Amino acid sequence: MINLSCQPRAKKFYDQAILKVEKREFLDAVDLLENASELEKDNLTWTKINFEIARLLRFEIQDYNKALFVYKNLILKSENTEVRLSSQQAIGEIYFENLMNYPLAIKELLLLETLVTDAERLESIRLKIAQSYRYIGNHKLALETIDSALRTAKNQKFHLLKLKAQTLHSMELYDEALKTYESILSDAPQFFSLENLFTAVSLIYEEKQDYKMAINYLTKYQDKIENKSYLELRLKRLSTKLVNKPFAKGVRK
């Protein structure tokens, strides 16, 4: 339990709120914490109270719009630099992960990018920015963001390369997408398998109408594909397409 030097009445509300949290009565806890916040004069304590309110709203109650309001208020009023930074990150993540409002996610994450100095944290932010650009169909900016991030990427390198391949695929730049997937398979085979990118590669061959290559590819790596029922379904579908492909000589019986 956080030891807060609250004003007397504020502390009473805070202590009651903690008991409500322990009982998982989160709506009541938020009401009590809001009462504590209104009475608290010390900025550090006020910040801790409101950061807890935002956390409950975001993760337990899932009232994302109200959580956004609290995080934005923390940015405006808190004297704690790290809390302001964490609040800005939370805002970007809520727009990205929960509300799926990608234009606003881009706006907030781009602002966050200018404030963050930690390299690992920056990689995750840039990955989300690139994903957001892709989701709104701005593939050019997605690729620019990915290529820029890849210059210094370490922890998110292969996630960025995967996103690059997906973006190239969406742009119908199939050969470039295949080349990117091949580089991932060569440098990070375990990541490739965990992300089931064998299927992604076969989809590109399918869209190129090279059904034979798609079948050969899946057959070659069938031992590394865990979902055998899906693999069997994909192979059947591709075989049917190969048989029915116009001018498919020597295939029909």
Q: How far apart are the first and last CA of the chain?
A: 74
42 and 74 in contact (C-beta within 8 Å)?
Answer: no
pLDDT digits (tens, 9 = 90+) for 106-165: 999 999 999 999 999 999 999 999 999 999 999 999 999 999 999 999 999 999 999 999
Helical packing angle, 228-244 and 197-207, nearest 10°:
10
74 and 54 in contact (C-beta within 8 Å)?
Answer: yes
pLDDT digits (tens, 9 = 90+) for 32-74: 999 999 999 999 999 999 999 999 999 999 999 999 999 999 9
Task: State the pLDDT at residue 170.
Answer: 97
List Cβ neighbours of 246 (8 Å cut-off, separation of 6 or more): none
pLDDT surpassing 50 at residue 250: no
Phi, psi of 100 (to 5 degrees): 50, 40
CA dihedral 71, 76, 79, 80 (to 10 degrees): 30
pLDDT mean across residues, the chain: 95
Task: State the pLDDT at residue 7.
Answer: 72
Strands (E) in the chain, as ranges, are none
Share of the chain above pLDDT 70, in %: 95
Residue 249: pLDDT band by 50, 70, 90 thresholds? low
How far is Cα 82 from Cα 61, in angstroms, rounded to an integer? 24
At 95 the three-state DSSP class reads: helix
Residue 20: pLDDT band by 50, 70, 90 thresholds? very high
Identify the sign of the CA torsion 50, 56, 57, 59. Answer: positive
pLDDT surpassing 60 at residue 3: no
How far is Cα 99 from Cα 233, in angstroms, rounded to an integer? 34
**Could you tell me the domains of the chain?**
1-94 (1.25.40.10)
pLDDT digits (tens, 9 = 90+) for 190-242: 999 999 999 999 999 999 999 999 999 999 999 999 999 999 999 999 999 99
Tokens of 95: 């727009």
How far is Cα 117 from Cα 155, in angstroms, rounded to an integer? 15
